[in-house]
Chain A
Amino acid sequence: MTDTTAAVNRKIAFARLRDLALIPAIIVIAVVGQLVSPVFLRGDNLINVLQTMSEIAILVLAQTLVLIVKKMDLSLESTVGLAPGVAAWLTVPVGAGHGLGLLPGGWSVPITLAVGVLIGVVNALFIIRFGLNGFIVTLGMLIVLRGILTGISGGQTFFRLPESMLYLGTTQWLGMPASVWLCLTLFAAGIVLLGFTSFGRSLYAIGGNVDAAKAAGIRTGRVLWIVIVTASLLAALSGLLLSGRLASVASAQGNGYIFTVFAAAVIGGISLNGGKGTMFGAFTGILLLFLIQNVLTLAGVPAQWIGALNGTIILIALALSRVTGGKAQE
């Protein structure tokens, strides 16, 4: 009897620890980073890491919500470009900034977010209303949205963005960039949402067994709509931060982000099969990737090699999480 109780307790303890699986890896990276360069653990370097990862971290957050309900949204990376792109197109004055100047600058932020919501509604319409496969729908959307941005910008970069668009990407609040505050706050909210609200738990129920969720009285369609639209809205916000920081919207803004996003989510313990993983895990996933990148840069690894190393790191991290997680990744 005591034997089985011990076994049960071990299983329970293990289920909880899975959340913290990446913490040792992050500590190891911190030690290695400090050995490589004393700059690494300095406050401004760490804040720099947090700021460069903040936009993509918000995408990871958005994708995590979508993955937990067992869907996928590839189009997030195009939304990062298109949402602020449309805003810049409409508000930047005619001339060197490549805009149309149709609306005053104050409209830029609401437009960015509205475009995000609109894209989310289109995605949700295809996936939920018409029951199409989310992977293919959002792959199509990824290409279409990128194409629209290239179309309206003529392949050029929008400059001279209005003040309101620059604000979130450039301002400091209490000595830290606003985007870092925003990113951390959103993750904190995400942890509470997924762990401690009925709505958050319904995401797990839907991803784990949609029939059981329906039988429990969860309005699965409505929850899925909210998740998909919210993810797009978050991607638009992420795009806003990025354009603010770079003070421009390039036609390739966000291009290729989605691979890092997926890698971070999976390394952080989010299952591509839905219903599994936590927001905290996802955060440690993206944090680990960016810390490693930072260490490589500090170690003087040539920029041309960062890509190859990044891919290798993702594979190693996946292999490690397979070993520590103990189960095959489906």
Chain B
Amino acid sequence: MVAAPAVAEAAGVTKRYGSTVALREAAIRIDQGQTHALVGRNGAGKSTLVSVLTGLQAPDEGTITFGGEPAPRLTDRDAWRQRVACVYQKSTIIPELTVAENLFLNRHDHGRSGLISWKTVRTKARELLDAWSVDVDVRLPAGELDVEQRQFVEIARALSFGARFIILDEPTAQLDAAAIARLFGRITELQRQGVTFLYISHHLEEIYEICDTVTVFRDARHVLTAAVGELPRAELVAAMTGEVATETGDTRRVPDANAAPVLEMTGASLPGAYEDVTLRVRAGEIVGLAGAASSGRVEIAETIAGLRAATTGSVEIAGTRPRPGSVPAALRAGVGFVPQDRHHQGYVAQMSIADNGTLTIPDRLGPAGFIDGRRRDGFARDMIGKLAIKTPGPELPVSGLSGGNQQKVVMARALANDPALLVLINPTAGVDVRSKEFLLAKVEEIAESGAGVLIASDELDDLRLCDRVLVVFQGAVVAEIPRGWHDHRLVAAMEGVDLDD
């Protein structure tokens, strides 16, 4: 145990940005061949630790060592790359360039003439990907790859520099269940070949599945490091939040089976996405729409919200039939909508919380298209209070908020017009544990108050609070599972496997 030095070790690391302390005497030790989880809520200091460990920033105090030797100078990028690599949530692939060029960027092979020999670059790229069994055509523009392929290419690139210590930052955030399984298979395989991982994730289930050791950070400090097997989930959550976790759910009343339906989708089809979908949501009911990333569940939800129009069939919301494919019509009919990707469709990053939160209700802000700033800020303060958004005031741009609080703003916008039907797509993606619990509790509260809720997600925690879950597989609703299911049953249904046989 004492013999081998740690692959990477940080000791007594402190990092300040102005007056805020991002890391306070933090320490972590990652041993050879481990898959080491790093967890913590947003702002716990994880990203700062990663940038210190990858040599993007120097710590103000403390030391970093790799294999017992002190870390290279910050300017010596090549030396850093031979020791450690990070696959970020935000891709470091250049979409316009080919896969081969991305792999050998700034270290192209030059022919005798001194010019780049594209043939050699392609051959070497192919050899590299073959060596790590990544099945991607190296001539493709990298922008054509899906998230999963891009991650594998980035991992292969990291390995090609000689690094055998790889940091994965939220690798599963944008993957569906099947792709996650493949990623885990790949991690296990690489681990066997001597690669060490530091695995950062919000998903505690994944940590129990794939990691050996877990380190928890909270408020810029190291809280605990323990073997995953010896740490019960409740204790892990408690370490992250600093308080004892409370179990939610189960106490909710059963929705009234005779309540009026707020959503009726009848025989709707959209070629290439889904076919003959019929579903109903009653007032006060929470219905889950589960399915893998390409199952069609997102398209169904977007159709209801008016982002898409079904070619056949109808959508009826609270007794009216809004014009298909029109978001304003859906809003008027009483739909509140949290879109799939908050960065793309959820908010305008430079605009303030107040402006973002009231985007859907311009007519309530003042007469004849004018906006009464005070009334708008009133609405916004109300939202900030109701959704516990952590901000100094409604005028702060949304880009200045943490992921969890950004999602709360998107939720606030969806709730602004007091919807009869709330449609949520992946409402807790990339959100920290506490915000997630808060958002889900809010959803239950809204349902209690008489609105219908449809949650389209592949996240089991989102679906747990649903009264029933409809499973979408290859564009069709294949199963309806009542509340109280087991994880494996739902996952199997989402993957198109029937466990009953």
Check: B252 CB closer than 8 A to any chain A CB. Answer: no
| Chain B binder among A32-40, A57-65, A212-220, A302-310 | A212-220
| Chain B binder among A42-50, A112-120, A144-152, A200-208 | A200-208
A8 to B140, CA, bound (A): 7
Contact pick for B137, options A8, A198, A201, A213, CB 8 Å: A8
Chain B hits for A192, CB < 8 A: 115
Interface residue tally on B, bucketed by range: 20 to 34
Check: B108 CB closer than 8 A to any chain A CB. Answer: yes
**CB closest chain-A residue, reference B114:** A197
Chain A hits for B95, CB < 8 A: 208-209, 275
Please tell me if the beta carbons of B108 and A198 are within 8 angstroms of each other in the complex. Answer: yes
Please tell me if the beta carbons of A202 and B106 are within 8 angstroms of each other in the complex. Answer: yes
Check: B139 CB closer than 8 A to any chain A CB. Answer: yes
**CB closest chain-B residue, reference A211:** B92
A329 to B396, CA, bound (A): 32
Chain B hits for A11, CB < 8 A: 140-141, 144
Check: B343 CB closer than 8 A to any chain A CB. Answer: no
Please tell me if the beta carbons of B101 and A196 are within 8 angstroms of each other in the complex. Answer: no
Given A11-B140, A196-B115, A197-B116, A204-B97 contact (CB < 8 Å)? yes
Chain A 218-232 interface mask (CB, 8 Å, partner B; 1/0): 100000000000000
Chain B 126-139 interface mask (CB, 8 Å, partner A; 1/0): 00000000000101
Check: B78 CB closer than 8 A to any chain A CB. Answer: yes
Check: A246 CB closer than 8 A to any chain B CB. Answer: no
Check: B94 CB closer than 8 A to any chain A CB. Answer: yes
Please tell me if the beta carbons of A198 and B116 are within 8 angstroms of each other in the complex. Answer: yes
Q: Is the interface of B mostly helix, strand, loop or mixed?
A: loop
Check: B93 CB closer than 8 A to any chain A CB. Answer: yes
Check: B105 CB closer than 8 A to any chain A CB. Answer: yes
A198 to B108, CA, bound (A): 7
Please tell me if the beta carbons of A275 and B94 are within 8 angstroms of each other in the complex. Answer: yes
Check: B96 CB closer than 8 A to any chain A CB. Answer: yes
Check: B77 CB closer than 8 A to any chain A CB. Answer: yes
Please tell me if the beta carbons of A208 and B97 are within 8 angstroms of each other in the complex. Answer: yes
Given A11-B144, A197-B116, A198-B116, A217-B94 contact (CB < 8 Å)? no
Contacting residues of chain B (69-96) with chain A, CB-CB under 8 angstroms: 77-78, 81, 90-96
Chain A hits for B105, CB < 8 A: 201, 205, 212-213, 216, 218
Chain B 19-40 interface mask (CB, 8 Å, partner A; 1/0): 0000000000000000000000
Check: A160 CB closer than 8 A to any chain B CB. Answer: no
**CB closest chain-B residue, reference A198:** B108
Chain A 47-87 interface mask (CB, 8 Å, partner B; 1/0): 00000000000000000000000000000000000000000
Please tell me if the beta carbons of A215 and B92 are within 8 angstroms of each other in the complex. Answer: yes
**CB closest chain-B residue, reference A217:** B77
Check: A15 CB closer than 8 A to any chain B CB. Answer: yes
Chain A hits for B116, CB < 8 A: 195-198, 201
Q: Is the interface of A mostly helix, strand, loop or mixed?
A: helix
Chain B 97-119 interface mask (CB, 8 Å, partner A; 1/0): 10001000111101000111010
A207 to B97, CA, bound (A): 11
Q: Shortest distance in angstroms between B364's beta carbon and chain A's nearest beta carbon? A: 34
Please tell me if the beta carbons of B96 and A217 are within 8 angstroms of each other in the complex. Answer: no
Chain B 161-188 interface mask (CB, 8 Å, partner A; 1/0): 0000000000000000000000000000
Contacting residues of chain B (328-382) with chain A, CB-CB under 8 angstroms: none
Please tell me if the beta carbons of B92 and A208 are within 8 angstroms of each other in the complex. Answer: no
Q: Shortest distance in angstroms between B363's beta carbon and chain A's nearest beta carbon? A: 31
Check: A12 CB closer than 8 A to any chain B CB. Answer: yes
Chain A hits for B93, CB < 8 A: 209, 212
Please tell me if the beta carbons of A276 and B96 are within 8 angstroms of each other in the complex. Answer: yes
Q: Shortest distance in angstroms between B52's beta carbon and chain A's nearest beta carbon? A: 15
Please tell me if the beta carbons of A197 and B115 are within 8 angstroms of each other in the complex. Answer: yes
A276 to B106, CA, bound (A): 17
Chain A 278-308 interface mask (CB, 8 Å, partner B; 1/0): 0000000000000000000000000000000
Chain A hits for B140, CB < 8 A: 8, 11-12
A195 to B118, CA, bound (A): 9
Please tell me if the beta carbons of A205 and B94 are within 8 angstroms of each other in the complex. Answer: yes
A89 to B116, CA, bound (A): 44
Chain B hits for A195, CB < 8 A: 116
Please tell me if the beta carbons of A212 and B94 are within 8 angstroms of each other in the complex. Answer: yes
Given A197-B116, A208-B97, A217-B137 contact (CB < 8 Å)? no
Contact pick for A205, options B77, B97, B141, CB 8 Å: B97
Given A196-B115, A197-B115, A201-B101, A275-B96 contact (CB < 8 Å)? yes
Contact pick for A15, options B77, B78, B141, CB 8 Å: B141
Chain B hits for A8, CB < 8 A: 137, 140
Chain B 302-339 interface mask (CB, 8 Å, partner A; 1/0): 00000000000000000000000000000000000000
Chain A hits for B137, CB < 8 A: 8, 12
Please tell me if the beta carbons of A204 and B77 are within 8 angstroms of each other in the complex. Answer: no
Please tell me if the beta carbons of B108 and A201 are within 8 angstroms of each other in the complex. Answer: yes
Q: Shortest distance in angstroms between B148's beta carbon and chain A's nearest beta carbon? A: 15
Q: Shortest distance in angstroms between B131's beta carbon and chain A's nearest beta carbon? A: 20
**CB closest chain-B residue, reference A192:** B115
**CB closest chain-B residue, reference A8:** B137
A196 to B106, CA, bound (A): 12
Given A196-B116, A201-B116, A209-B92, A216-B106 contact (CB < 8 Å)? yes
Chain A hits for B108, CB < 8 A: 198, 201
A195 to B105, CA, bound (A): 13
Chain B hits for A218, CB < 8 A: 105-106
Q: Shortest distance in angstroms between A329's beta carbon and chain B's nearest beta carbon? A: 14
Contact pick for A213, options B78, B81, B94, CB 8 Å: B94
Please tell me if the beta carbons of A212 and B78 are within 8 angstroms of each other in the complex. Answer: no
Chain A hits for B115, CB < 8 A: 192, 196-197
A198 to B139, CA, bound (A): 18
A226 to B18, CA, bound (A): 34
Give 7 new A-B contacts, CB below 8 A, not counting A197-B115, A208-B94: A12-B140, A198-B106, A201-B101, A201-B116, A275-B95, A275-B96, A275-B97
In the A-B complex, the 5 residue pairs with the smallest Cβ-Cβ separation, listed nearest first, are A208-B94, A196-B115, A212-B92, A216-B105, A275-B96
Could you write out 23 A-B pairs with CB less than 8 Å apart? A8-B140, A12-B140, A192-B115, A196-B118, A197-B115, A198-B116, A201-B97, A201-B101, A201-B116, A202-B106, A204-B96, A205-B105, A207-B96, A208-B97, A209-B94, A211-B90, A211-B92, A212-B91, A212-B92, A216-B106, A217-B106, A218-B105, A276-B96
